[in-house]
Amino acid sequence: MNRLSNVSTSISLLIISFFLTISCSKKENEIQTANINFNKNWQFTKGEISESIQPNFDDSKWETINVPHDWSIKGPFSKENPSFSRGGWLPTGKCTYRKTFTVPANEKENKVFVYFDGAYRNSIVYINGQKVGYRPLGYIGFEYDLTEHINFDKENVLTVTLDNSEQPGSRWYTGTGIYRDVTLKIRNKTYIPNWSLYVTTPKISKESATINAAFNIKTEFDKASKIIAKTIVLKDDSEIASKENTVEISATKIENLNVSIDIPNPKLWAPETPELYTVKVQLFNNGELIGEESTRTGIRELGYSKDTGFSINGVQTKLKGVCLHHAGGPIGAAIYKRTIQRQLEILREMGCNAVRTSHNPFSTEFLETCDEMGFLVMNEVFDEWEIVKNPTTVQEGKKIRIPVKYYADKFKEWADTDLTDFVLRDRNHPSVVMWSIGNEIDQMKTDEGIPIANRLIDIIHKLDDRPVTNGLIGYGWDAWPSEGAAQTSDIRGYNYIKENGLDREDKIAPNSMGVVTECASAQSFYPRSIYLYGKEKEAWWNKLGYTSTEAYEWVEKRELIGYRGVQAWKDIKNRDDIMGQFIWTGWDYLGEVIPFGWPARSSSFAPIDLCGFPKDGYYFYQSQWSNKPMVHIFPHWNLEGMEGKEVTVFAYTNGDEVELFQDGKSLGKQKNNLNDVEYQEWKVIYKPGSLKAVSYKNGKEIATKQVNTAGKAAKIELFVRRTNLKADGEDLSYVECTILDKDGNVVPKADNLINFEVIGEANLIAVGNGDNMNLDSFQASNRKAFNGKALAVIQTTENAGNIEFKASAKGLETATISLKSKR
Ligand code: GAL
């Protein structure tokens, strides 16, 4: 029996002692089975109990949970919660997790590490009562060596305490908990340390590409030994090239290897063809496999030229980007791969090709999904440096300022470590096209910020060669960034820049290109499908009960057409020196409810609501960013009370002409100049009936959209993107419900209460409807539709089988949908 089969035997014992918590996707006889999924069966309690760090503490009364876990999302929403409107009025605080596990005696010669991809926040980790580490930033991944405290063949207890009690603790909803994956890693004493494997592709042509793998080998054996490192490149699980290197190692020195491998006829990674390769390094001692590390990579050439624009593999590419926060709407901050995939699928259908991780490190899963789907990422690390942010927030509709207790007091001590770990963790992802060191850092308005920016940029430059930007603020109004600011970044980054800002920056730093790190999106602040005229508008605002008109003015200034977003795209669409833009935001998110206050608990900036339902602005971006023929008109055509009155109807299209018909009669054609950024509008006298838009290109009809006045709600339509799910206890199905009349028209103001039932191998885990002012719990078995729509999120169990989902509402036809889950 060679060493490899020894390892797999001991790993299978481990499987038993971990209560079958090991991912079933692992293959027998492969040493990476030593990376053990540690997500299942944790004991959890809110609060802090100092004795609970002791291994013999009795936690049997605590709740048993699986991670990812975010308990803040369970609510309730309350005006008394100190997270305030910034945190979506949700509860926060301290909490403790414990996990009991056994490592078999035959692992004694090995090392044991635990890896957390993120725990929000101020985590302290103990093993068997011994503290192994503290990490204040809740978004950062970290690994601890547990070996010296492990009792092999006996029970061990890992305790994690979190403290998210200082509030408001963020400018947006963060979640609280171990909200990302946990992995237990068993390694030989000779090993490749965490994140040391760094893969680059320095030479690329159609005929051949060079993949370079740099990595460290460390040993904790006293005796020197000869190790063979085999570097293998795989495509779709098949080995396509490899190289062996022999190295003498000893405990006194960490060896650094640099291996170059040529790949003939490489398949290049690009947004439309996200081809991935795997690079695996195996270590052999006396012919026996003792450990391995692997990472994925994409072969692609990135070009950043002020004259010819940003390019991938020589193809000029504009960043049609969105800023996102990390959470997943109704399911909170503990998100699953499927949450990310769905977010990106809906964005891709909007024409989006890029995401800014505003304003903190996201999960590893997020970047993996971007790699797989061909998204381009501006990977951002900080929202705050040394000075506390004091953002404008809204109380009863009135603007006030409340400082947030986030990271400023930790920055001096932790920033360099956090930044280093962030880059080390993320630098192998082909989706990452640039780094960002900050968002709207006030210190960049004076020269005080420059040495800090330079220090952070230096850290990144030492670890990676992709360019660095910084989302600066202040263009076009009172406090401009310091003149030196533009020179610090490799790519000048501007938030909310106006034309005078672009001109000024160009003069200051004429040799570098820029990117609009953030701009307004083409979206009115009213929630999805809300069109208010006359008395209805007054009633809507009166219901909010605000004593000041500030919020009203703020919202109304935005206009239904979302003119600011239209203008922001117009400013840069035809400029090669600007890589592209990132709109604020792609999806609505919890918290930061400006310009509203209570009872709003989520933002309303985005063209997509919290549940994934498109608003009108979504179609503006589709008309500008996507080539798929489309036309969209709004408002809906159920404007009761407006009979005989004039209403403006707007259209977005990627055709070069649009014609609007009311009840079959043409109201005229309008041009759409595709070289510019345009929308169309008609003044129409409202009467119930139909509106139809027809879009043409070069005289040919390319798309139509008809909106009818809907009758009474009669039935529910269910929509899912996939019917075959994975029976892994993690996969999700997002079931979108739409209320229709008897003829199949969407009832645009329907608010029927829908009851959900799941039969079979899945559970209902969240509900929602996209109304940013709804304070009902996300964890319920029913939901009122909001403007005709509601959402249910179901999660598979670990058993394969049939799943039946049923949605029913009083007076409406019940709808069902059948899904299947497989192992
Ligand atoms: C920006 C900021 C974002 C968000 C947004 C809201 O200035 O960078 O994080 O707060 O404003 O409008």
pLDDT tens column, 379-391: 999 999 999 999 9
How large is the average pLDDT for residues 259-267?
Answer: 97
591 contact partners, CB below 8 Å, separation of at least 6: 83, 85, 86, 87, 88, 170, 171, 172, 173, 601, 602, 603
Give residue 477's pLDDT.
65
**Whether 701 is catalytic:** no
Instruction: Give the bridge partners for 682, in sequence order.
Output: 649
Side-chain-side CA neighbours of 139 within 13 Å: the count stands at: 27
**The pLDDT value given to residue 29:** 33
In the chain the domains, ranked by start, together with CATH numbers, are 11-187 (2.60.120.260), 198-297 (2.60.40.10), 319-592 (3.20.20.80), 631-635+639-708 (2.60.40.10), 713-822 (2.60.40.10)
Cα–ligand 1 centroid distance for 738 (angstroms): 32
Active-site residue (options: 518, 657, 659, 761): 518
Average pLDDT across the chain, whole number: 93
Tally Cβ neighbours within 10 Å of residue 100: 16
Mean pLDDT computed over 288-299: 96
pLDDT digits (tens, 9 = 90+) for 514-544: 999 999 999 999 999 999 998 999 999 999 9
Q: State the catalytic residue, choosing from 143, 301, 440, 761.
A: 440
- pLDDT at position 106 over 90: no
Active site residue 681: no
Tell me the C-alpha to C-alpha distance, in Å, between residue 181 and each of 119, 141, 366, 664: 9, 10, 12, 56
Per-residue pLDDT at 714 exceeds 90: yes
Q: What is the pLDDT of residues 383-425, one digit of tens each?
A: 999 999 999 887 777 788 999 999 999 999 999 999 999 999 9
Ligand 1 close to Cβ of residue 518 (< 6 A): yes
Q: Whose CA is nearest to atom 11 of ligand 1?
A: 584
Nearest in space to 611 (alpha carbons), one of 251, 270, 331:
331
pLDDT digits (tens, 9 = 90+) for 24-58: 333 333 333 489 999 999 999 999 999 999 999 99
384 close to ligand 1 (CB < 6 Angstrom): no
Among candidate residues 512, 465, 497, the one with its CA nearest the CA of residue 307: 512
Distance CA 620, CA 633 (A): 10
- What does the pLDDT read at residue 480? 81
pLDDT band at 476 (very low <50, low <70, confident <90, very high): low
Query: Can you give the length of the chain in residues?
Result: 823
> What is the per-residue pLDDT for 510?
86
Tell me if 157 sits within 8 A of 125, measured CB to CB: no
Which residues lie across from 297 on neighbouring strands? 277
Paired with 37 in beta bridges are 183
**Cα of 584 from ligand 1 centre, angstroms:** 7
* Atom of ligand 1 minimally distant from the CA of 439: 8
Q: CA–CA separation, 722 vs 731, rounded Å?
A: 11
Average pLDDT over residues 116-143: 98
- Tens-place pLDDT, residues 323-351: 999 999 999 999 999 999 999 999 999 99
Which atom of ligand 1 is least distant from the CA of 473? Answer: 7
Predicted pLDDT at 659: 98
Position 580 confidence tier, pLDDT thresholds 50, 70, 90? very high
pLDDT of residue 478: 64
Rounded CA Rg of the chain: 28
Question: What angle, rounded to 10 degrees, do the helices at 616-625 and 337-350 form?
Answer: 70
Q: How confident is the model at residue 651 (pLDDT cuts 50, 70, 90)?
A: very high
Q: In testing the pocket of ligand 1, which one of 518, 564, 772 has its CB within 8 Å of the most ligand atoms?
A: 518
What is the predicted pLDDT for the residue at 28?
Answer: 34
Phi, psi of 507 (to 5 degrees): -70, -40
- Give the pLDDT confidence score for residue 21 in this predicted structure: 32
Q: Tell me the average pLDDT across 415-443.
A: 97
pLDDT digits (tens, 9 = 90+) for 480-512: 888 888 889 999 999 999 877 888 888 888 888
Q: Has residue 15 got a pLDDT over 80? A: no
The pTM of the whole model exceeds 0.85: yes
